[in-house]
């Protein structure tokens, strides 16, 4: 339940300024703007308090006066959220009859909202005597204009500070949540068990395994026993070689996997011819391709790239196909009824609609690229983290194996985060759409 209004409640002047800035209807008379501001009720929420639950009836429009609101939406295979900051409105489906909110709204920090019945807003605006008098159709048109803002509304000068402020706010919320400390606790538990099993209890199963102190000393040593540490150039050479191979394989897998997946999902003829072969080749392990790749491809580099590309390609293509199959067929039919050609439907409905699945597939793809790379470098590579692991094993340099494994995990995690951030940036339009759409 909302908290009782505190002594520092908003004044009518504050409410009027917020209403004028947040609502997209210009030209209303002073009296109507004042009536709108007076009609809004102030609602106060504590941090983490639910403003409305998923599936709640869409009766009210809200304007954020203080604090911020997190809007959470869960689709069939995608969970997303949008942050609504001070001065922005949400709950636009309250202005359309029969609509229902499907996602959840949660207060971030101490939050103050202006709350108004959607029917009341439409009634006041429709009866405005001035040039700003609008109808329900105008309301819907204004909402659509917000849902699909023209590019000119977002300039480089204003977008960057807002985006930076949002990221800093989200980072602060993350630090105040238990997530980072639970993450550190997980790392502490892993390294604590490693230390106890190897160096303290000396369990028989871990007799040959190096302890964390041995690995750490070797890793930071100016003169490492086995020749690989933070102070040796060969260590970074291995990392750069592996990064280059993964980047090339990932780019080729994306360039070929996304179009293949789109065609598999969109064209029945193409799917009937290609998908059976696709499904037969996909389960074959990467190591089974090693002999053929060495025979078919010259040199030692191309086989590694091919093996790394292969697993990434299948992951990207399959997720893209699933993304196309998840699109509501009525959207394509509606576009065709409005005169769109088959190519226009594919370009404006199918490809954008599959993007969430495509970026999910790319996150999986970058991960499988790394473990495919390690397998390839172990059997066919020269230099690289996989090559370093295999060579260290044959030469009984166990601390170096652990160093290469931890490095591999860290570099792989960074690349996965980079793909995720790139997807979030390229899908920024989806966040704006969810923030103002009927899903709210």
More confident residue, 25 or 345: 345
Considering the entire predicted model, what is its pTM? Answer: 0.59
In 3D space, the residue among 430, 416, 269, 251 whose CA is nearest the CA of residue 354 turns out to be 430
The pLDDT value recorded for residue 437 is: 47
pLDDT digits (tens, 9 = 90+) for 381-394: 678 898 899 899 88
In order of their start, the domains of the chain are 12-150 (2.60.120.10), 218-436 (1.10.3720.10)
More confident residue, 219 or 179: 219
**Burial annotation 340-369 (CB, 10 A radius, 16+ → b, else e):** beeeebbeebbbebbbbbbbbbbbbbbbbb
* Spatial distance between the Cα atoms of 279 and 176, rounded to a whole number of angstroms: 46
* Spatial distance between the Cα atoms of 244 and 248, rounded to a whole number of angstroms: 6
Q: With 70 as the cut, is the pLDDT of residue 339 above it?
A: yes
Q: With 70 as the cut, is the pLDDT of residue 242 above it?
A: yes
Q: With 80 as the cut, is the pLDDT of residue 246 above it?
A: yes
Residue owning tokens 């690349």: 415
The pLDDT value recorded for residue 428 is: 62
More confident residue, 38 or 190: 190
pLDDT digits (tens, 9 = 90+) for 142-184: 555 544 444 444 444 444 455 566 566 667 777 788 888 888 9
pLDDT digits (tens, 9 = 90+) for 42-57: 888 888 888 888 777 7
- Label the pairing between strands 50-52 and 79-84: unpaired
Q: Which helix (H) or strand (E) holds 45?
A: strand 41-45
Six-digit token pair at 35? 């009536």
Cβ–Cβ < 8 Å for 228, 235:
yes
Q: Where are the alpha helices (DSSP H) in 59-148?
A: 118-126, 136-147
* Spatial distance between the Cα atoms of 317 and 258, rounded to a whole number of angstroms: 6
Cβ–Cβ < 8 Å for 212, 399:
no
E strands, 75-140, where? 79-84, 89-90, 104-117
Beta bridge partners of 363: none
The pLDDT value recorded for residue 185 is: 92
61 — phi, psi (to 5°)? -105, 140
The pLDDT value recorded for residue 76 is: 41
Average pLDDT in the 74-103 region?
Answer: 65
The pLDDT value recorded for residue 429 is: 55
Q: Among 70-79, 146-155, 243-252, which stretch is predicted with the lowest mean pLDDT?
A: 146-155
* Spatial distance between the Cα atoms of 170 and 68, rounded to a whole number of angstroms: 11
Cβ–Cβ < 8 Å for 339, 321:
no
Six-digit token pair at 84? 């609504």
The pLDDT value recorded for residue 123 is: 75
* Spatial distance between the Cα atoms of 101 and 23, rounded to a whole number of angstroms: 19
* Spatial distance between the Cα atoms of 269 and 267, rounded to a whole number of angstroms: 5
* Spatial distance between the Cα atoms of 96 and 143, rounded to a whole number of angstroms: 10
Sequence-ordered list of residues with C-beta below 8 angstroms from that of 118, at least 6 positions apart, any chain: 58, 59, 60, 61, 91, 93, 94, 95, 96
106 — phi, psi (to 5°)? -130, 135
In 3D space, the residue among 59, 17, 65 whose CA is nearest the CA of residue 37 turns out to be 17
pLDDT digits (tens, 9 = 90+) for 105-139: 888 878 888 888 877 777 777 676 665 555 555 55
pLDDT, mean over the chain: 79
The pLDDT value recorded for residue 154 is: 42
Q: With 70 as the cut, is the pLDDT of residue 431 above it?
A: no
The pLDDT value recorded for residue 290 is: 86
Q: What's the length of the chain? A: 440
Cβ–Cβ < 8 Å for 392, 400:
yes
More confident residue, 424 or 214: 214
- Label the pairing between strands 41-45 and 104-117: antiparallel
């Amino acid at each position: 339940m909302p908290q009782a209004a505190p002594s520092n409640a908003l004044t009518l002047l504050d409410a009027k300024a917020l209403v004028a800035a947040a609502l997209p209807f210009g030209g209303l008379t002073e009296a109507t703007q004042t009536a709108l501001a007076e009609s809004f009720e102030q609602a106060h929420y504590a941090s983490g308090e639910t403003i409305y639950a998923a599936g709640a009836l869409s009766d009210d429009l809200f304007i954020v006066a203080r604090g911020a609101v997190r809007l959470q939406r869960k689709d069939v295979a995608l969970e997303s959220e949008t942050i609504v900051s001070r001065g922005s409105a949400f709950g636009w489906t309250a202005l359309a009859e029969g609509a229902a909110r499907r996602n959840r709204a949660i207060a971030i920090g101490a939050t103050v909202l202006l709350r108004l019945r959607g029917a009341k807003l439409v009634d006041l605006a429709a009866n405005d005597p001035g040039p700003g008098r609008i109808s329900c159709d105008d309301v819907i048109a204004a909402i659509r204009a917000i849902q699909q803002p023209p590019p000119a509304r977002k300039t480089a000068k204003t977008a960057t500070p807002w985006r930076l402020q949002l990221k800093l706010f989200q980072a602060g919320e993350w630090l105040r949540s238990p997530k980072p400390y639970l993450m550190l606790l997980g790392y502490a538990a892993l390294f604590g068990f490693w230390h106890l099993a190897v160096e303290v209890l000396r369990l028989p199963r871990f007799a040959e395994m190096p302890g964390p102190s041995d690995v750490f000393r070797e890793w930071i040593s100016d003169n490492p026993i086995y020749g690989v540490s933070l102070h040796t150039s060969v260590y970074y050479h291995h990392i750069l070689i592996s990064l280059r191979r993964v980047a090339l394989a990932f780019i080729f897998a994306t360039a070929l996997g996304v179009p293949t997946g789109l065609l598999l999902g969109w064209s029945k003829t193409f799917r009937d011819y290609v998908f059976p072969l696709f499904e037969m080749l996909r389960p074959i392990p990467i190591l089974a391709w090693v002999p053929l790749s060495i025979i078919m491809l010259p040199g030692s580099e191309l086989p590694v790239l091919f093996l790394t590309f292969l697993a990434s390609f299948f992951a990207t293509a399959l997720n893209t196909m699933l993304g196309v199959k998840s699109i509501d067929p009525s959207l394509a039919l509606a576009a065709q009824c409005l005169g769109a050609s088959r190519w226009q439907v594919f370009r404006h409905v199918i490809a954008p609609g599959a993007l969430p699945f495509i970026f999910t597939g790319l996150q999986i793809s970058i991960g499988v690229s790394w473990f495919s790379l390690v397998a390839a470098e172990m059997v066919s590579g020269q230099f690289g983290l996989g090559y370093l692991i295999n060579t260290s094993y044959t030469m009984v340099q166990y601390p170096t194996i652990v160093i290469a494994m931890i490095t591999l995990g860290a570099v792989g995690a960074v690349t996965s985060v980079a793909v995720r951030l790139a997807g979030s940036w390229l899908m920024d339009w989806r966040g704006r759409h969810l923030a103002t759409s009927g899903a709210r």
